[in-house]
Every structure is written in C-alpha cells, then in structure tokens.
Amino acid sequence: MIEKFLNKIINDDCINVLKQLPGSCVDMTFADPPFNLKKKYNNYDDAKEVQDYLDWCNIWLSEMVRITKPSGAIFVHNIPRWLYYFSQHLNKIAYFKHWIAWDSPSAPLGKTLLPNHYGILYFTKSKSRKAFKFFDIKNAASSL
C-alpha cells in the first residue's frame, strides 16, 4: 500500500493521502501548513474561522501521529499562535520533546507585529527515550 507513495510528488489533499497510509508506517512526519493569515492562495482558503482551522488541523495532526512508527518523530512548523493549540491536541495523543525556535528576523508590515520566531514542535509517539530514534544530522553528516 505505501509503495504507491514512495519517491513521488503527490498533489492531493493531505488528509486524503494520510488516511490511505497504514498505521505506524513512516519514521518521521513533518508539516508546514498554511498559517490562516488570509493570504491569497489559488487552491486554499487561508481565511478560515478559528474553530474550522483548528478542527482541520486536528484531523491531519492525528493522522500524522497515527502513521508515525513508535520509534519515529513528528515535527510541525507554524507561528506560535497556532502551535499553542497544536501542542494542546498533540499532548493528548503523543509525547512532547521540544519546541524548536527558528529565528526569523523581519520587520513589521503596517500596524502589526510579526513574531520574532517561528516554531517547530517536536513530538514522539512513544514516551520512552529508548523507544524512539533520534539521528543527529550534524554528526551523521560529519562522518560521511
């Protein structure tokens, strides 16, 4: 079943694709969803009501956890406003490891403040440190 998705770019609704995958089949999931900031996209409404946006996000967040192996990791990138809610949902179904702050220097536009960082939530499916694998990319790259 998973073979039809390997090494392919898939242009489809993420929830449709995630629901087709078997449980515990991937080592890592990463999501960078729209920020619901009323940006103009060709194929997506980025101006959802808050609860509609969160309901949609909770579906794909749950699917990300479902398809991640017990030894795997779940990463979600977004602005702090939404990561706060995402972490509340993920805390019910996965285990928090870190909030990674990505420094994003920028200047305010108009009369609004921009976040001084974006966040990446890092969760695992298993609570035990021995159950999940963490590969240090820096050390792995230096050994090549």
In one-letter notation, the amino acid at residue 73 is: A
Q: Which of the four pLDDT bands, split at 50, 70 and 90, describes residue 73?
A: very high
Q: How far apart are the first and last CA of the chain?
A: 33
List pLDDT tens digits, range 79-129. Answer: 999 999 999 999 999 999 999 998 776 666 666 666 678 899 999 998 877
- The domain containing residue 46 runs over which residues? 11-106+113-136
pLDDT of residue 25: 94
d(Cα 125, Cα 1) in Å, to the nearest integer? 22
Is 94 within the bounds of a domain? yes
Query: Does a structural domain hold residue 3?
Result: no
Whether residue 2 lies inside any domain: the answer is no
* 141 within a domain of the structure (yes/no): no
77 lies in a domain? yes
The DSSP letter of residue 36 is -
Residues above pLDDT 90, as percent of the chain: 60
Tell me: the pLDDT tens digits for 39-57?
A: 888 888 899 999 999 999 9
Q: How many domains does the chain have?
A: 1
Assigned domain for 38 exists: yes
Whole-number pLDDT of residue 106: 65
The pLDDT value given to residue 5: 83
Q: What is the pLDDT of residue 110?
A: 61
Q: Is residue 72 part of a domain?
A: yes
Tokens of 139: 């050390």
Q: Any idea which residue has 């779940």 for tokens?
A: 74
| Average pLDDT value over all residues in the chain | 86
- Position 112, amino acid: T
Q: What CATH number should be reported for the domain holding residue 39? A: 3.40.50.150
Please, is 36 exposed, middle or buried when counting C-beta atoms within 10 Å of its C-beta (0-12, 13-18, 19+)?
buried
Residue 77 makes CB contacts below 8 A (sequence gap 6+) with 30, 31, 32, 102, 118, 119, 120
Instruction: Decide if 143 is inside a domain.
Output: no
